[in-house]
Amino acid sequence: MKAVFMTDRGKVRQHNEDNGGIYMNSRGQRLAIVADGMGGHRAGDVASEMTLTSLKGLWDQTDDFQTADEAEGWLQKHIAEVNTILYEHSKVNEQCEGMGTTVVAAICTDRFATIANIGDSRCYILNESGFQQLTEDHSLVNELVRSGQITKEDAEHHPRKNVLLRALGTESAVEMDIKTITFEEGDLLLLCSDGLSNKVSVAEMSEILNSGGTLEEKASVLIEKANDNGGEDNITLVIAEYYESNESGMINDD
């Protein structure tokens, strides 16, 4: 397996409130994370960074996931724990009141990938069936689309596009979506914040991921495209590629 993480402040924002990374356990299994923080007084930085460091610390204690049930249970339990950590921190630190973050996380093994998400950071897959979104946005406009009140085209320019219905750390308890897919030779996973998905179309993402070049080059082109299309938000992504190899692969944890 190969994987790359990349983040960019964008062209407008003064600070980068996104966080993310790729972490490997003792068995070579990866945990990939993208978190897009929100909240006044740079509290978004705090929320996304606390999410990342908390999940990384818990991941460092893991050994091996033999089944999808084990991976799903791990994500369910520990993302809920992180929600409590963030919520309690916001209650005792006035400058962090109301802080929260999206999160999309994927446990990638040599047999399957298990994905959890809260908010509107997304996970896509590129495989023999094409390029498709695996996660559902927990946003107002997505609910309006799902209920038939607006079209997908309307959603792209809706004035309340950024209103989330779920976020990590804003309530004492949170629901998350979790699913497991088969991860096969040549498949690519793309995890990203809305700074990418709002600015680069599905067709453009697919074309870039299908192009030649390294994962780092593909990640750079995706971020460049988001910035060329406005770059109003922070842009963060992880690309993971599964392939058969006896080598440990490459990790970028910057």
Longest dimension (CA), the chain: 51
Rounded Cα distance, 2 and 212, in Å = 15
Domain total of the chain? 1
Give residue 234's pLDDT: 97
Residue 128 placed within a domain: yes
Instruction: Please indicate, yes or no, whether the overall pTM of this predicted structure exceeds 0.85.
Output: yes
Residue 39 placed within a domain: yes
Nearest 10 degrees: Cα torsion 4, 9, 10, 11: -150
Q: What range does the domain containing 182 cover?
A: 2-137+166-241
- At position 196, the amino acid (one-letter code) is L
Task: Report the candidate in 183, 187, 193 with the shortest Cα–Cα distance to residue 238.
Answer: 193
Give residue 153's pLDDT: 79
Rounded Cα distance, 178 and 145, in Å = 21
Residue 47 placed within a domain: yes
Give residue 41's pLDDT: 67
Task: Report the candidate in 34, 35, 23, 32 with the shortest Cα–Cα distance to residue 61.
Answer: 23
Residue 17 placed within a domain: yes
Residue 145 placed within a domain: no
Secondary structure of 120-163 in the HEC alphabet?
Answer: CCEEEEEECCEEEECCCCCEHHHHHHHCCCCCHHHHHCCCCCCC
Nearest 10 degrees: Cα torsion 223, 224, 229, 233: 40
Residue pair 52/20 in contact (Cβ under 8 Å)? The answer is: yes
Rounded Cα distance, 196 and 225, in Å = 9
- State in Å, rounded, how far the first CA of the chain is from the last one: 18
Q: Which pair of tokens denotes residue 55?
A: 């999940």
Rounded Cα distance, 199 and 201, in Å = 7
- Walking along the chain (254 residues) 10 residues at a time, the average pLDDT comes out as 96 95 94 93 91 97 94 98 97 93 97 97 97 96 90 80 92 97 94 97 97 96 98 97 62 42
Residue 159 placed within a domain: no
Residue 180 placed within a domain: yes
Rounded Cα distance, 242 and 2, in Å = 7
The CATH number for 202's domain is 3.60.40.10
Residue 254 placed within a domain: no
φ/ψ (deg, to 5) at 167: -150, 160
